[in-house]
Structure formats: structure tokens, C-alpha cells
Amino acid sequence: MKNPPEGWPRISSSLFYDDAAAAIDWLVRAFGFEVQERVEDEQERIVHSQLVLDGGLIMVGQTGLQPDREYQQSPRTVGGANTQSLAVYVDDADAHCERARAAGAEITMEPATQDYGEGYWVDRSYGALDLEGHHWWFLQRLR
């Protein structure tokens, strides 16, 4: 299998927001992403962006820019529905949760340790909703 393009992970996800510019700023502040690329149109709407976190990459875009792509919706415009949840490994789930909470993330599951038994793993994780309702899981591998 060929390697992905330089700077790209083998898999990434695209998220759509009604206010993508505000979402990018919030994702940086709350979850620690860094902006790798940000492309705006003449009205300063986000047409494409790439945010990175420890080797992972997400793309954030503005809803409504391409009417033929009705699937590009924010959860808040579809009653909070999510068809995927993002899972991100972090070094310290408790500290990350506090950072997210301070930035206004809705914590849906407080940090807790899950032990999946001998021969498997132990994670410390929490769940959060971002400012438009995308669901995120942040996990710290303990064993």
C-alpha cells in the first residue's frame, strides 16, 4: 500500500458547521487542535480547512456552500443527530476534559476509567459535545 500524501494520516474526517470560522477557533481553544490550512472565500466563509492534533487530521467546512451536498449539515440543524463520533487519544484525559469544559464544551460523560479485562486494555476517557453538537470521545490509554 502506498503512503498517504506527506502530512496526511491514512484516515481523516470532515465536519461541517453553520459557523465554521467560530468552530475552528473553538476547536483550537477547547480541544488543542492547530490550524494547518484555512481557506476562505470572498465573504470570509470557510471553504476548506485542515486542523491537526498529534498526527490526526480533521477538515472543517461551512454548511450551505454547496447546495447539492445536503449531507453536509451541522448536528444542531438536524435535531442533534450524529452519524459518527470522533475518538481522539490524548496524553491526559482529565486535564484535557478540564480544558474543554473551561472553553464551554458540554461534557456528556465525566472522565472515567474503563478496564476491559486481562489481556485487553484500560482507558481513561470522557465524552463531550462541541459548540454545534458534534460528539467527541477523548481517551487516554492506561494499559
What is the pLDDT at residue 115? 95
Instruction: Please write down the HEC assignment for all residues of the chain.
Output: CCCCCCCCCCCCEEEEECCHHHHHHHHHHHHCCEEEEEEECCCCCEEEEEEEECCEEEEEEECCCCCCCCCCCCHHHCCCCCCCCEEEECCCHHHHHHHHHHCCCEEEEEEEEEECCCCCCEEEEEEEECCCCCEEEEEEECC
Rounded to 5 degrees, φ, ψ at 76 are: -70, -20
What is the pLDDT at residue 69? 72
What is the pLDDT at residue 1? 72
What is the pLDDT at residue 63? 86
- What is the pTM for the complete model shown? 0.86
The string of pLDDT tens digits covering residues 91-124 is 999 999 999 999 999 999 999 999 999 999 999 9
| Residues in the chain where the model's pLDDT stays below 50 | none
Q: For all residues of the chain together, what is the average pLDDT?
A: 91
